[in-house]
Structure 1
Amino acid sequence: MSHIFIGIYDEDAVYGKRLMEYINRQKEYPLTAAAFASLEALTEFTGSQDVKGLILEEGTQIDSKVPVYYLKKDSTQEACRYGSAKEIVKEAYAAFRPKGLSSGGVTGVYSPSDNLKRTGFALETAEKLNALFLGMESFGYAVYNRSMEDLLFAVKARREGIIDYAYSLTAGTDGVQRIDSARCFLDYKDMSGEDYRWFFQQLGEAGISAVLDMSTACIYDFELFSLCDCLYLPVWEEDIEDSRFLGFKELSKQHPVLSTLHWKEVYLSKTQNRADRTRCPAEKY
């Protein structure tokens, strides 16, 4: 992710410097900061550098062509001037994030028949959405011993800077940043809905879309489906009469969670490997 370069000015130069150091040390949001002891120095700097935003003490007057985040003086606010630096960074990033940088949410791709062609469809979907691909196959192959099992452990530990850490685990395949499946499906069994919910929220706040390539063995609970913003059920010709596929569709009419979900069924064949994901209608079982 590209870092957003910002400038900081506060009458208390020590405070401004400490805030700068915190911003440059934290890994959760892609911000890089430079602090200045005077408005003149800050103005001169912004005129010569590609600065995308300013953090200023509330009440500071400045003629700025870039977004400004004002540090609140109200001590009752969590993101006030001497409050939580983490909250300040979170709010400032929301103000500076480029317009149009928004998450397309989490897309789940699932097949009860465990057709391995599902992965190809999931990769094509990730490419189209410019999304992070997350492997959730039963057994994976760790590249340099780094895979989803590392990410799952970090998510459960609520690791700081989880987004940058996730990208450190990726490998590029045909233009898609992907994290391959854990080496054993048992790594997914320790995950909870709250774990996934927290991680998906981090992705959303960072403006990152994700595609989950899910097999049955790696689904801890049907709640995982409900956490996805979009669900695809790719169906190949050989799957139509598969007892697992038919059983899943029947269960989906009765199960309290599955019956509330909207699926986009995509029928694929040898002559139709790719699907138009913008025109595929959502269907509710």
Structure 2
Amino acid sequence: MVKILAVYDEDPLYAERLAEYVNQRETIPFTAMAFSDLERLKAYGNEHEIEILLAGEGVKNQTDQVRAGLKMVLCGGEFSMEKENPSIYKYQSGDSILREVMTCYCAAPPEPALALAGARGRILGVYSPVNRCGKTAFALTLAQVLSKNWPVLFISLEEFAGFEAILGGQAPRDLSDVLYLCRQGGFNWMKLRTIVCSVGQVDMIPPAAYGEDLDQMEPEELAQVFGRIAGESGYGRIVVDLGHMGRGSAALLDGCDGVYMPVLKDPVSQAKIEAFDRYLGAAGAISLKEKIQRIQLPVIRGYGRLDDYMEKLLWGEMGDFVRSLLEGGLGNG
């Protein structure tokens, strides 16, 4: 069943642009419609179920007779999140507006959609037993290149990811909240969508602020979380920067559809890779080798500022490397 998000604002162009933005986000379980005429909005609401109505503060009093499951006010000044007609600041990014809408909607959804229709997304892990090999830079670039063809979600399991500059500041909620939802049995995609941030075309769950939160879940549980996201979220590809998971890496790798492993050729790095291979043998996970594609990454120089780091990765040596790698590779399977 299609869920309708209606936008009715005193500025018809604003309503059209916001509706267009919502419809471009493939992982939002709503179809947005812009209205500039009150009578047309009323007539539509009488014949169709409007799940959410976003109304400009200048026209909100006109919508009393419009049928809608949840009404929210798009305001340009003071706003509140009160139970009756909660409001949202309209002059912020579309991603921030959607996150606030989903937060309010999930507080008491009438009939929450627990999953989005569509095929299960592929989980692509990026892992290496070798330090300082460019793993995270590769993972971020991989997510960006894949986003040209699929909706992509990026997840980092790094203990200290340091993504504040990339995300435009400290995120109000992060992977720790996702793990809490799962431990409490309250996980569903509608709630998870309130945590996701967008960086360009890539959606991202902000990394856990405290690495200890990652230690509270067994690798098998984390693999189940990623499996649920892949099955329920509508993302075509989920890129997971696996961090250094130590002896629990086999279970997480097994939950991936494919794994990229950056390697280095120096003697110490080669010794670490050999130790990892012995670990797979001791863990009875030799079959995992078939999922792992070992790659040697290009050396990147001149990173510049962190706030435009992803753009430089995409259009630099790393981007060229990833685009070449994906031709017939794991990500396109």
TM range (shorter): 0.5 to 0.7
- Alignment RMSD, CA only? 4.0
> Structure 1 86/29 Cα, relative in aligned 2: closer, same or farther at 3 Å?
farther
Check conservation: 1:4, 1:31, Cα contact below 8 A.
yes
Which TM-score applies when normalising by structure 2? 0.50
1:207 corresponds to 2:234: yes
Equivalent residues, number: 206
> Structure 1 252/280 Cα, relative in aligned 2: closer, same or farther at 3 Å?
farther
Deviation at 1:243, TM superposition (A): 3.0
- Of Structure 1 and Structure 2, the greater helix share is in 2
Deviation at 1:126, TM superposition (A): 1.5
The match for 2:258 is 230
Deviation at 1:218, TM superposition (A): 7.3
> Structure 1 243/185 Cα, relative in aligned 2: closer, same or farther at 3 Å?
farther
The 2-side partners of 1:241 and 1:195 are apart by 27
The match for 1:251 is 279
Task: Give 3-state SS (helix, strand or coil) of 1:223's partner.
Answer: helix
Deviation at 1:247, TM superposition (A): 1.6
Deviation at 1:281, TM superposition (A): 7.2
Check conservation: 1:222, 1:258, Cα contact below 8 A.
no
Kindly provide the amino acid, as one letter, of the partner of residue 278 in structure 1. Answer: E
> Structure 1 206/244 Cα, relative in aligned 2: closer, same or farther at 3 Å?
same
The 2-side partners of 1:182 and 1:205 are apart by 22
The 2-side partners of 1:168 and 1:178 are apart by 11
The match for 2:157 is 136
The match for 1:279 is 328
Deviation at 1:173, TM superposition (A): 2.8
Q: Deviations over 1:226-284 (max 9, x none)?
A: 111111112245588443233213433443025444211122222753231233479xx
Which of 107, 110, 120 is matched with 2:137 structurally? 120
The match for 2:2 is 4
Deviation at 1:5, TM superposition (A): 3.2
> Structure 1 4/237 Cα, relative in aligned 2: closer, same or farther at 3 Å?
farther
Which deviates further from its counterpart, 191-200 or 222-231?
Answer: 191-200
Which TM-score applies when normalising by structure 1? 0.57
The match for 1:180 is 206
The match for 1:167 is 193
1:190 corresponds to 2:239: no
The match for 1:63 is none
Q: Unaligned stretches of 5+ in structure 2?
A: 5-26, 32-42, 51-109, 165-169, 301-316
Task: Give 3-state SS (helix, strand or coil) of 1:106's partner.
Answer: strand
Deviation at 1:122, TM superposition (A): 0.7
Q: Unaligned stretches of 5+ in structure 1?
A: 7-27, 33-43, 52-84
> Structure 1 158/116 Cα, relative in aligned 2: closer, same or farther at 3 Å?
farther
Check conservation: 1:106, 1:230, Cα contact below 8 A.
yes
